[in-house]
Amino acid sequence: MKVLVTGGAGFIGSNLVKKLLMQGDEVFVLDNFLSGYKQNLSNVCGARLVEGDIRNSDLLDKLMTNVEIIYHLAASVGNKRSIDNPFLDADINVRGTLCLLEAARKHRVKKIIVSSSAGIFGELKTLPIREEHPIEPRTPYASSKLYAEKIALSYADLYGIEAVCLRYFNVYGPHQRFDAYGNVIPIFVFKMLRGETLEIFGDGEQTRDFVNVHDVVQANIKAAMTKGLCGSFNIASGIQITINQLVHDLSVASGMKLMTEHKEPRPGDVRDSLADITAAKKAFDFNPGISLQQGLKEYFAWAKSALEEAIA
């Protein structure tokens, strides 16, 4: 089966590409390397890598021939980046998704799996959060992901493309690098490896629902393989953990004593997060199986190796 993975050199995308190749798919990767890295695919044989942008309609037309499934992960990612540059978020995440969907329509692609975000919910009013929870995005990034969902589902209604939107909660795992716009686990781990103090915004009792990238890959493939499936689904572990507990678990996983410093809460951050993943379990047998402790050990080992390679 010929599939296209946009953002396939990124964190989640590269893990997905590896799994798709293992199951025998013909995989094309489209990435502009805004947040992806070629080295994420350096040990992956068989994928056809195309450097380009999802906003390039002519390029998309060339790539789309005989594609059956699109895994759409290309995006400008992160709340802080979107606050710094909201126009870029809208241009890539909204207009880029529209360009991709239009190319898919022209070439009669059967299915698209859209990577969305739990950030679309905003401040949570009830826990655990279900798909029907009120949607009140608090940042340009979250708003752009919501519009990407709506565009994809409108194409499903109008043109018959099966569209599945996966609302990721806090994803972590191998190939997730640290930068100023990253998530808390890579930020903490790379600071740990450099002997730096971990900054906790607020009292540390805020909660998150962390899900391992291998479980996210499973969700993408199972959703793609389920015929007739359309709609939006939460993708998470269904387990709530405080940031203070995360620091403790990181200390155990690494065997390191950690230094922490509390700072003022950041704008745009939600206080608590916990997903209800019942809908995904029922619709396509989503079953997250990697514990946080197991996942943190794997991620710490990967990050240590990645940092050593960068220094060498």
Sketch the domain layout of the chain as residue ranges: 2-170+212-236
What confidence score (pLDDT) does residue 101 get?
99
| pLDDT, mean of each 10-residue run, the chain (312 residues) | 98 98 98 91 92 98 97 83 76 96 98 96 92 93 95 98 98 85 87 95 96 99 98 98 98 96 86 96 98 98 89 68
Contacts of 56 (CB under 8 A, 6+ apart): 99
Nearest residue to 284 (alpha-carbon basis) of 215, 212, 238 = 215
pTM recorded for the entire structure: 0.94
Q: Which two tokens stand for residue 198?
A: 């971990």
Question: What positions carry a catalytic annotation?
Answer: 141
What confidence score (pLDDT) does residue 279 get?
99
What confidence score (pLDDT) does residue 308 get?
85
Beta-sheet pairing, 241-242 with 207-208: antiparallel
Work out the burial of residue 95: count CB atoms within 10 Å of its CB; fewer than 13 is exposed, 13-18 middle, 19 or more buried: middle
Domain 2-170+212-236: CATH architecture, name and number where available? 3-Layer(aba) Sandwich (3.40)
